[in-house]
Amino acid sequence: MQSNAKYLALFLISFFLLPIKAEFIGEISLDNRHFFNDGALGQDNNHSSISFSPEIFENLEDDRIFHFKAKLRNDNKDTERNLVDIQELYFIEIGESKEIKYGMSKEFWGVTETSHRVDIINQTDTTESFDGEDKLGQPMVKVSLEKNWGNIDLYALLGFRERTYSGDKGRLRLPVLIDTDNPIYESSAKNKRTDFAIRWSHYFDEFEVALSHFSGTSREPRLMPSAKKLNHLTPYYEKINQTGLEALYLIGGLALKLEAIRRSGQGDTFSAATAGFEYTQVGIADSRIDLGWILEANHDDRLSNSPFVVGTRLTFNDSYDSQILSGMFINEKTEEIGMLIEASRRIASCCMISLEAMYFDDANEDNGEIKLFGPFKEDDFMRIEFIYYFGE
C-alpha cells in the first residue's frame, strides 16, 4: 500500500504539472454499517467509512485514450479497511480491429450474477463488501484482436496484488486473523512474477461463449497456519493453471447462463461451476415496474455443499432509477440461509443513496456440518451509503 501511495502522489504531481484538457470527475461516498449484535470477537457495532474516487478521462487523439481512477478509503474502526488503490491508470492505442491497453486496469470476465468463477485478472478487495465484486487495479499489457471468428484478448499481468482482509477490529471476518504482512508465494519471484492469460469470446445469434486460460499466481490464496504469528493464518499464493468456460443462451426473455472452471496447482485439481438463469417480467401487473428473477446453483469440488441462490430485481423505471435487489442463499446440507436486500435510488442528479441489509440464519446450530456462514453468524447488518458525484 505504501508504494501504491507513493506512485499515486507522483502521478498526481505530474498531472498537475502537465496541464492537459481532460474530463475530471469523481465521487465521494459515506457509508455506515450497523451490526445488530455484538461482534463474536468483541468488535464494535457501528463502522463508518469515507471513500474518495477521483477520475480523469481523455481522448488524446482519435486513436488514443487515457483513463485514471483512484480509490482512497478510510475506515473509522478497521485499519485493514483503509485503502489507497489505483484502479485505472492506462492508455489504449486503437487500431483497425485491434487495441492495446497498457497500465493499471480492471477487467471483468463472466456471465453469472451471484458468483464469478471465471473472473481472475484482478485481485478482490474483500474489505469493501461481502459479495467479492470489488477489485483492485492490476498492472497489465493487454492486446485485443477482433476477428471474424471472435475476439481474442491476450494479457501479460505484470506483478501481483495481495487480497485484502478485514483486520482485528473489522466485522465479517474469520475468527482467526489473516497475517497480510507475511504472505507466502510459491513462485520465487513472489509478487513480481509476470502472469499470462488468454480469452476467446464470440457469439452466434442468441448464443454467447468464451473460453479462457490463466497461468500464474492464484488470486485466491490458501490460508495456512502462520509460522511467524501465533493464532494467525498466512495467505499462501500458489502457481495455478485455470481454464474457464462462459456460456449464455437467450430464449426470448430468458437467459441461461453457465460459468465453469478447472484449476490445477492448489492441491488436487478441481472443478467449480455456477449455472442458472435470469428472466425479466417487463411491466408487472400493468405497471412500469420490471421484475427480474435470478436462480443460480453452485458447485465446487472442494466443498461438500455449495449454496444455491434465488434473487429478484425490482426495477421501478422511474426518474430516480429506483431499484430493489434481494437474494437468498440456501445451503441445504448445512441448513443455513443467508438473506440480502439492497435498495438504491438517485436523489437529484448529483447523488445516490443505497441501503443494504444482510441476515444469516442457521436453522440447526449443530448438525455436524462445517457451517459456511458460521464465522458471520453475529454479523447481521444494515448498511447505508450516500454517494456524491462531482464534475461533469
Partner 1 sequence: MNYTNQTMKIVSYFALFLSLTLSSSLFANRGLEIALLSDKNNEGYGDSSSTMTMELISKKGDVVTRELRFKRLEVPEDGDKSIAVFESPRDVKGVAILSYAHKQEADDQWLYLPALKRVKRIASKNKSGPFLGSEFSFEDFSFQEVEKYEYEYIKDESYLGKDCFVIKRIPLDPYSGYTKQLAWIDKENYLLQKIHHFDRKSFHLKTQTFGEYKQYLGFFWQPHRIEMQNHQNGKSSVLKFEEVFFKQGLTANDFSQNSLKRSR
Nearest one of 69, 84, 85, 78 to 49, comparing CA atoms: 78
Site for partner 1 contains 283 (CB under 8 A) = yes
Segment holding 294, helix H or strand E: strand 290-300
Q: Which residues of 114-138 are buried (b: 16+ CB within 10 A; e: fewer)?
A: bbbbbbbbbbbbbbbbbbeebbbbb
Q: Is 38 in the site for partner 1 (CB under 8 A)?
A: no
Does 255 engage in binding with partner 1 (CB under 8 A)?
yes
Q: Does 254 bind partner 1 (CB under 8 A)?
A: yes
Cell of 54: 477521483
Rounded CA separation 180/85 (Å):
16
Binders of partner 1 among residues 216 to 235 (CB under 8 A) are none
* Binding footprint of partner 1, residue count (CB under 8 A): 48
Q: Is residue 253 part of the contact set for partner 1 (CB under 8 A)?
A: yes
- Let me know: does 67 contact 56? Beta carbons within 8 Å: yes
Q: Which helix (H) or strand (E) holds 383?
A: strand 381-390
* Residue selected from 136, 261, 352, 358 as contacting partner 1 according to rule CB under 8 A: 352
Which 306-325 positions form the footprint of partner 1 (CB under 8 A)?
Answer: 315, 317-321
Cβ contacts of 66 within 8 Å, gap of 6 or more: 22, 56, 57, 58, 60, 90, 91
Three cell numbers at 256?
441461461
Q: Which three cell numbers stand for residue 249?
A: 443462451
CB nearer to partner 1: pick between 29 and 218: 29
**Options 40, 94, 100, 328; binder of partner 1; rule CB under 8 A:** 94
Residue whose cell numbers read 465484486:
133
Least distance from partner 1 to the Cβ atom of residue 314, Å: 13
Give the residue with the Cβ less far from partner 1, 80 or 246. Answer: 246
Query: Dihedral of the CA atoms 295, 260, 197, 3 (nearest 10)?
Result: 50
Q: Does the footprint of partner 1 cover residue 30 (CB under 8 A)?
A: no
Look up residue 376 and give its DSSP letter. G
Work out which of 20, 349, 365, 368 binds partner 1, going by CB under 8 A: 349
Stretch that binds partner 1, among 38-46, 252-260, 305-313, 364-372 (CB under 8 A): 252-260
- Site residues (vs partner 1, CB under 8 A): 25, 27, 57, 65, 92, 94, 96-97, 99, 106-108, 110-111, 133, 144, 146, 151, 201, 203, 205-206, 208, 248, 250, 252-255, 280, 282-283, 288, 290, 315, 317-321, 346, 349-350, 352, 387, 389, 391-392
